[in-house]
Chains A and B, each alone.
Chain A
């Protein structure tokens, strides 16, 4: 402990110097100026953090007000997203174009409309699907790291996992866009589509056109991105299981899996917190999703259809918002995104701290 020792020594020297003793005697709490300055600075910095959250919420609410006034609560369940006026040719019941006296088609002008349902749907489906893929693998890998892998190997894998959690999302997006999406388009999706077509109850899962950039691709990329996080936090949570618990189960004659199951049961709330952290990351992920989801504000049942999430919508449209109302609507989407992430994070921290993995959660 070299640094600590030198510091103590330097303090000792200063304390031993003439005059130091007197200042100590006359010192009352808070009377010494540097003390008050440091206390003030530290307090202000700490309050800055609270102020930051307050500012975040209030600025977004204020900026989204025009959207609240115009659309009301139906914003969240409305499925049209039309930033600009749309001229649409009217058709009659048979699908024929209606023409006026001069033979020109009759058009109808649709006003701009904004509804968040497609992006909420996109966020929900991609997050759920990615967790569905990521969770079993992550928990399996965490058990592997805790109970199977040799120590040397654990360190190497832990470094890889932590590094991959730090790789920027745009890197995963680039990989998804240029490697995964073409691969899915060429080899995977046509086959899955054919399978879905053949099974009578699953027609709705098939999509007529596959580009590779769709919900399925986005979910896979998200799964790859959240696996390092869920694995790392689950590993730290599993590490908190007391060894007596493990030894006790083993002594009772439990098999390897029965003991592991007891461990998972023991820290289930912490594991659930780890999954919530993964969910928060998946639901808020922006750049990677914006690159691979296809960016279409529509709801389709098929996972091979292009879609849009809340965050990818913001990334694509906010800088080029066509009107103030468009921008306000985007801000309301951002507010919904913020509210969602706050809920996920609060629940996750609460569970992980309860499960004893507080340090793990604080690290990321």
Chain B
């Protein structure tokens, strides 16, 4: 090290004091971050807590002035469930297969590295821009807002996440597994489907759950694709409700009762994402201990 002499000479009183101060500052930074983040969580939980009632899950939004006002968010819960489900039908298989390609078919390195790089870059594109792609691809041709466009936009967001996690997880499967399988006469397809993928199941589930947690909380790509609806509907051909859009409408609207509902909606959403995160940690740990 070139400045070795400098370091030895520098161990003076000032540098020891500086070191102590920086040490304390690092602890203070961590402490402040943890307390601010805990404060945010505390508010999110404590304000919404008493509005999470059975009515929240059982009722649809009721208009201002009606007897059931403000109602619940059943439509949004069902809508988000359907949108995420539809998005998964496209996003999960494409993402898994692309991950398999990146990990198992590395015959042309430049394609592999291009795809990997593109997936990384796509994962960082603002979700509202993806929403515009959904708008141009499915709302403009159909002529009105519809649930399919929202589901497609969510699928586009899922694909890079599932792809990259799948690749990482498949790479953790030891090479000897593949060699053993091939040596036993299995074809490449059989090796992948019956040896490599089962060995990485926990990791694959992690990737899918990461993607689900991400898209379940997305609002921006739904603003001008699914648009949102105050009614419970199962028909994605028209404007389609979602929990996040409902929260956004209520939070930016004028009524106090609806703002309270928005807090309850956020709490339910965060609880869902918390459970998914616990699951991710559980499955990810199972992968790490195995290999």
Contact = CB atoms under 8 A, between A and B. Distances in A.
Interface of A: 1, 3-4, 6-8, 10-12, 14-15, 20-21, 23-24, 27, 32, 34-35, 37-39, 41-50, 52-53, 55-56, 59-60, 63, 136-141, 143-145, 147-149, 157, 159-164, 166-175, 177-179, 224, 227-228, 231, 248-249, 252-258, 260, 277, 280-281, 283-287, 291, 311, 314-315, 318-319, 331, 334, 337-338, 341-342, 344-346, 348-349, 359, 361-364
A170 B185 contact: no
A178 B47 CA distance: 10
Contact of A171 (B4, B44, B173, B199): B44
A287 B252 CA distance: 11
Contacts of B4: 252
B245 to A, nearest CB: 9
B36 A224 contact: yes
Residue in A27, A138, A173, A362 whose Cβ sees the most chain B Cβ within 10 Å: A362
19 contacts: A1-B291, A11-B190, A45-B97, A52-B118, A59-B133, A140-B26, A145-B30, A148-B26, A166-B276, A168-B217, A175-B43, A249-B7, A252-B1, A256-B20, A281-B124, A337-B129, A338-B125, A346-B121, A349-B117
Interface in B7-23: 7-8, 10-11, 15-16, 18-23
Nearest to A47: B115
A350 to B, nearest CB: 9
A239 to B, nearest CB: 15
Interface string B165-209: 100100001000100110011111111111100110100000000
Contacts, number: 326
Given A3-B201, A144-B29, A318-B223, A170 B180 contact: no
Residue in A3, A12, A59, A161 whose Cβ sees the most chain B Cβ within 10 Å: A3
B238 interface: no
B273 interface: yes
Given A8-B180, A148-B27, A168-B244, A37 B125 contact: no
A27 B28 CA distance: 65
B33 interface: yes
Contacts of B1: 248-249, 252
B130 interface: yes
A254 B32 CA distance: 27
Given A11-B186, A50-B118, A253 B7 contact: yes
A254 B7 contact: yes
A281 B29 CA distance: 21
Contacts of A170: 217, 219, 244, 247-248, 251, 266
A150 to B, nearest CB: 12
A144 B23 CA distance: 8
Contacts of A39: 105, 188-189
A72 to B, nearest CB: 22
Contacts of B135: 318
B15 A52 contact: no
B122 interface: yes
Nearest to B197: A7
A315 B220 contact: yes
Nearest to B250: A174
B149 interface: no
A174 to B, nearest CB: 5
Contacts of A20: 185
B270 interface: yes
Contacts of A228: 37
B111 interface: yes
A162 B279 CA distance: 13
Residue in A46, A148, A257, A341 whose Cβ sees the most chain B Cβ within 10 Å: A46
B127 A46 contact: no
A286 B199 contact: no
A334 B133 CA distance: 10
A231 B32 CA distance: 13
B291 to A, nearest CB: 8
A167 B251 contact: no
A349 B119 CA distance: 11
Contact of B126 (A7, A41, A252, A286): A286
